[in-house]
Amino acid sequence: MVMSRRNFLKVSAGASGSLMVSMTLPGCAGIQTGYEPDTGEWRPDAWLELTADDEVFFTLARVEMGQGTYTGLTTLIAEELEIQPERITPRFAPVAPEYRNPLYKLQLTGGSTSVATSWEPLRAAGAEARQMLVMAAARVWNVEATECRASDGRVVHPNGIDSMAYGQLVELAAKEVVRGEIALKPQSEWKYIGKQRGKLDARAKSTGTAVYGIDVDLSDMVYGVVSRSPRRGGRVRDFNADQVRAMTGVLDVFEIERGVAVVADKYWRARKAQDALKIDWDFSDAVSLSTGDVFDSYRAAADDDPGESERSEGSFASAIEESDRVVQAEYAQPYLAHATLEPMNATAWYREDRMEVWAPTQAPDLGRIAAARATDLRPDDITINTTFLGGGFGRRLTQDYIEEAAALAYRVGRPVKVIWSREEDTRHDLYRPAMLHRMKASLSGSELTGWRHQIVGPQILDWYVRNAAPAQYPWAPKFMYDTLGKVGLMAEGIATPKDISAIEGAIEYPYRVSNIDIRHTHTDPGIPITWWRSVGFSHNGFAVETFMDELAHEAGEDPYQFRRRLISHEPRHLEVLERVVRLADWQSPVPEGRARGLALFRSFGTYVAQVVEAGIENGAVRVYRVSCSVDCGQVVNPRIVEDQIEGGILFGLTAALYGEITLQNGEVQQSNFHDYPLMRQYERPEVVVDIVDSSETPTGVGEPGVPPVIPALGNALFALNGKRQRSLPLKADV
């Protein structure tokens, strides 16, 4: 990243003599909020604030949902500021243009981008503050700034004995002007980056004191629950409002856009009232699909339309003609729910023409749009307070739960907390899309000469742009919202990023093949979808790496040797492949009744190779061991990298073994953890994570562990019993 420091750092004196460092990220220069010295309040665009009481506050613009930003991003600031990360208090960012994710032009946390996009700017902010503190101290002591050094929250005099705490210096430091570029510390001087250190939120999360959205407590607060149409698109015709309103504790029962809301003084009373609620639904415009219909429609679309070309090299047709063998296979993957352990919830309070919202959200600026939509308020009238998130995985990028809380609070005039039940959370999720893949390849001898991948299914931006486009233009009048959404879709690649959600992980096909034809047949059956931990990579990874295994088998070659030969031009792929093969002792004999499978896959800039050792016990698939080599560039916190990769592996295995949302006549059939199971402690395989030592720019780790484990497990089962797993979830008795 090349940027002039002056372009994105602003330093100012804050209230009561604190030092504040603000940043304007590239691309946001036109809309920064300037420094207003007379307000005297904490400025929402300050990334870093040092107070005279020797406190350090760091505004965390990427939310904490378990992926470790709370520790990881704070570590980046701490390293250059020369202070222990534990001395810094992170606070969750309010909505402001400065906190947008520069890759998306939205204030969202997703796509495994937090460390990658913060790596340069956060260290620069820390370095600038440190330099100003050193300059202030030098002025006090009347020595050269270059002779002083910062260490552990203090500036040390050239005599090596005297020192001043940062708190003593902030008032003076705010007046210093740093000229020229500040060199960031060389890797050899790092104290915190790349070192084994604890997590800054571990104490709060081990003592029950971390505040999640569901824990928000306001005086005079009431509770709301919402009954939504069991089939998408159903409308409320009538409901027994009077009867329900008469129940104990019930304050109001009314229709909102998404269904019927019950508000009561206690949560349990709201639930009991909801049980008594009888709604007459009009399903005339409702979805009536069953899962089989979805896949039938995909197959029909695939037959009709070869799809838009997303990558084309050489001539696939000639490759087929000249080959001596053609291999074809079709892969299918189901809808998947997110199943965050904290169900969807949000709290909203409308008073004096303003609304305040507290919510576990991955995209607070979109939350503001959602609340504006549900009320007559403008985004500027709405404040979003982000809490800890009890899991995100992409689910909390969509703000439907904030929309509901806002609608209820706007009517009730008291703080309202809306909590979804687990059943509602499962049935009214927006799912990882069900997808179909048609694969075709040509072999000449053992040589892979042609690769064709036809991806069939919907695109997520079609669903997401509704709130995302207005969030990019928060000053736009509300009547424009729908137009903005449509323009966003039409101007895809210009106004909004090109939607690669369906094809990511397919178009980057890395193996050396001369003739490549990758296509997307765009078809949308109308079932709500959204991002899901690794999204497109999760389904394309399964198709690509299973088919590679099929081809290795067809070519009569060991799956490792086959891949190795075709990836020798990609050094980082090659390295993780070689390392995982050693780690798993790939060539060694497998215990009786077990087999190994391999997959190699890059996503979010991170290279991952995995070997799964699995078997079938008592008619069920059993995973014994997963070996994983990962190259994510420079590691900020090794423990968090291990955790994220291992967590991704278990997330992927859960999908591979159990994950399936099915529809019957438009209704989701799963509801809770008995029919949408998650992997449990007793099923956990041994997971070994091997991290490549690298000083490349860091890349994401939250998602890349997920995609390869699914095909690696399927490939292991093929090695075990010769039966190819072409649809998910995997089955012991294909």
The residues of the shown chain that bind other proteins, judged by CB under 8 A, are: 65-68, 198-199, 201-212, 214-215, 217, 248, 266-269, 339-343, 388-393, 419, 421-423, 639-640, 643-644, 646-651, 672-674, 678-682, 684, 687
Residues 649/625, Cβ–Cβ less than 8 Å: no
Judged by beta carbon, residue 217 or residue 321, the one nearer other proteins is 217
Query: CB-based burial of residue 674 (10 Å sphere; 0-12 exposed, 13-18 middle, 19+ buried)?
Result: exposed
Q: Closest CB to other proteins among 652 and 711? A: 652
Kindly write down the DSSP assignment for every residue of 338-367, as one continuous string. ---SS--EEEEEEETTEEEEEE--S-HHHH
| 348: exposed, middle or buried (Cβ count in 10 Å: 0-12, 13-18, 19+) | buried
- Is 136 or 640 the residue whose CB approaches other proteins more closely? 640
Closest CB to other proteins among residues 68, 85: 68
Of 51, 198, 651, nearest to 394 (Cα)?
Answer: 651
Least distance to other proteins, CB of residue 386, Å:
14
State the nearest-atom distance from the C-beta of 424 to other proteins, in Å. 10
Q: Nearest distance from residue 249's CB to other proteins, in Å?
A: 9
**Angle formed by the axes of helices 364-373 and 400-412, to 10°?**
50
Helix, coil or strand: residue 676: coil
Inter-CA distances, 94 with 278, 285, 355, 610, 706, Å:
40, 39, 14, 39, 31
671 backbone dihedrals φ, ψ, rounded to 5°: -145, -35
**Residue spans of alpha helices (H) in 151-216:** 166-173, 202-206
Determine the longest span between alpha carbons in the chain, in angstroms: 83
Residue with Cβ nearer other proteins (43 or 396)? 396
CB atoms within 10 A of CB 44: 15
Within 320-423, strands assigned E span 325-333, 345-351, 354-359, 382-386, 416-419
**Shortest reach from residue 404's CB to other proteins, in Å:** 17
* Closer to other proteins by Cβ: residue 189 or 675: 675
Residue with tokens 């592996």: 649
What is the smallest separation between the CB atom of 202 and other proteins, expressed in angstroms?
A: 4
Q: In angstroms, what is the minimal distance from the CB of 672 to other proteins?
A: 5
Query: Residue 617: which residues within 8 A CB-CB, separation 6 or more?
Result: 593
AA identity, residue 351: R
Nearer to other proteins, 342 or 499 (CB): 342
Smallest gap from residue 682 Cβ to other proteins (A): 5
Minimum CB distance to other proteins smaller for 326 or for 678: 678
Task: From residue 473, give the alpha-carbon distance in Å to each of 85, 372, 478.
Answer: 35, 13, 10
| Distance in Å, CB of 648 to other proteins, minimum | 7
Task: For residue 449, give the DSSP letter.
Answer: E
C-beta of 251: minimal distance to other proteins in Å?
Answer: 15
Q: Name which of 149 and 205 has its Cβ closer to other proteins.
A: 205
493: CB partners within 8 A, 6+ apart:
none
* Least CB distance to other proteins at residue 265 (A): 10
Q: Which helix (H) or strand (E) holds 409?
A: helix 400-412
CB of 702 to other proteins, least distance (A): 10
Cα separation, 702 vs 534, in Å, equals: 8
Of 210 and 279, nearer to other proteins (C-beta) is: 210
Complex with other proteins: residue 420 or 718, whichever CB lies closer: 420
Q: Which of 26, 81, 32 has the alpha carbon at shortest distance from 57? A: 81
Nearest approach in angstroms of CB 248 to other proteins is 8
**Rounded distance, CA 542 to CA 331, Å?**
8
Q: Are strands 345-351 and 416-419 parallel, antiparallel or unpaired?
A: antiparallel
Residue whose CB is less far from other proteins, 111 or 647: 647
Backbone angles phi, psi at 153, to 5 degrees: 80, 10
- Angle of helix 706-721 versus helix 638-657 axis, rounded to 10: 50
Look-up of token digits 């669903």: 463
Compute CA distances 569 → 251, 306, 564, 566, 685, whole Å: 67, 30, 10, 8, 33
Nearer to other proteins, 214 or 294 (CB): 214
3-state helix, strand, coil in the chain (%, to 5): 35, 25, 40
Task: Please identify, using beta-carbon distances, which residue of 191 and 205 lies nearer to other proteins.
Answer: 205
Least distance CB 215 / other proteins (angstroms)? 4
Length of the chain: 734
- Collect all residues with Cβ–Cβ distance below 8 Å to 183 and sequence separation of at least 6: 127
Q: How far is the CB of 458 from other proteins (least distance, A)?
A: 25
Query: Residue 203 or residue 486: which is nearer to other proteins going by CB?
Result: 203
Query: How far apart (Å, rounded) are the C-alpha atoms in residues 120 and 730?
Result: 42
Shortest distance in whole angstroms from residue 255 CB to other proteins: 25
Residue 483 beta carbon to other proteins: minimum distance, rounded to whole angstroms? 37
Residue closer to other proteins, measured from CB, 393 or 542 = 393
